[in-house]
Amino acid sequence: MRTAIYPGSFDPVTLGHWDLIQRAEKLVDRLVVAVLHNPSKTSAFSVEERVEMLRELVGERPIIEVTSFHGLLVDFAKTQGAQCIVRGVRAFSDFEYEFQMALMNRKLAPELETVFLMPKERYSAVSSRLVREIGSMGGNLTELVPPALRERIAHRLQQD
Ligand code: PNS
């Protein structure tokens, strides 16, 4: 049984994340999409909201689970019996941060592999940070977030 963890902040989930989930799903037997509880980082959406939106998006796909985690990713991965971590790389600018994190995770847990996947080119410039910024100013979120969640995300960002 091959289990992968796809960790992230998902604040909020974007079309880039969704593209990656669908790519990762084809490679493993079980995919755990995991939202980090990060008390030191202020977020626009609560962890519960982020998990709920991801669950709505994933629907009834049997091999995908959505959950949240505290603490070190490698410790969470062990509790899930995972063999690998999936991360998305959109552009060269993502690489340095991802490379550092992958090597550090390897130091902490040598048996765990990090696998990088590339989302569709059209999502190269899509990030949760830009979604938050555009959404909070009433901009159009089409092409940035999944259609089924667009209203909810836009509404919520305009409340802040
Ligand atoms: O979506 P993000 O914010 O780029 O995701 C970053 C995340 C959640 C993958 C990373 O911050 C993480 O794994 N945090 C958990 C704490 C941890 O394990 N830190 C050491 C990383 S080398």
The model's pLDDT over 37-86, given as tens digits with 9 standing for 90+, comes to: 998 889 999 999 999 999 999 999 999 999 999 999 999 999 999 999 99
| Cα–Cα dist 114/11, whole Å | 22
CATH of 3-121, one of 3.40.50.620, 2.40.10.10, 2.60.40.10, 3.40.50.300: 3.40.50.620
pLDDT in tens, 78-110: 999 999 999 999 998 899 999 999 999 999 999
Is the pLDDT confidence value at 160 over 80?
no
Query: What are φ and ψ of residue 84, in 5° steps?
Result: -150, 160
DSSP annotation of 112: P
pLDDT at residue 47, rounded to an integer? 97
Q: What is the pLDDT at residue 159?
A: 85
If you take atom 7 of ligand 1, which residue's CA is the nearest one? 8
- Ligand 1 atom at minimal distance to the Cα of residue 11: 1
User: From CA 19, how far away is CA 17, in angstroms rounded?
Assistant: 5
Which of the residues 17, 50, 87, 132 is marked catalytic?
Answer: 17
**According to the model, what pLDDT value does residue 1 have?**
92
Average pLDDT (119-133) is 97
116 contacts: CB under 8 Å, gap ≥ 6: 86, 87, 88, 89, 98, 102
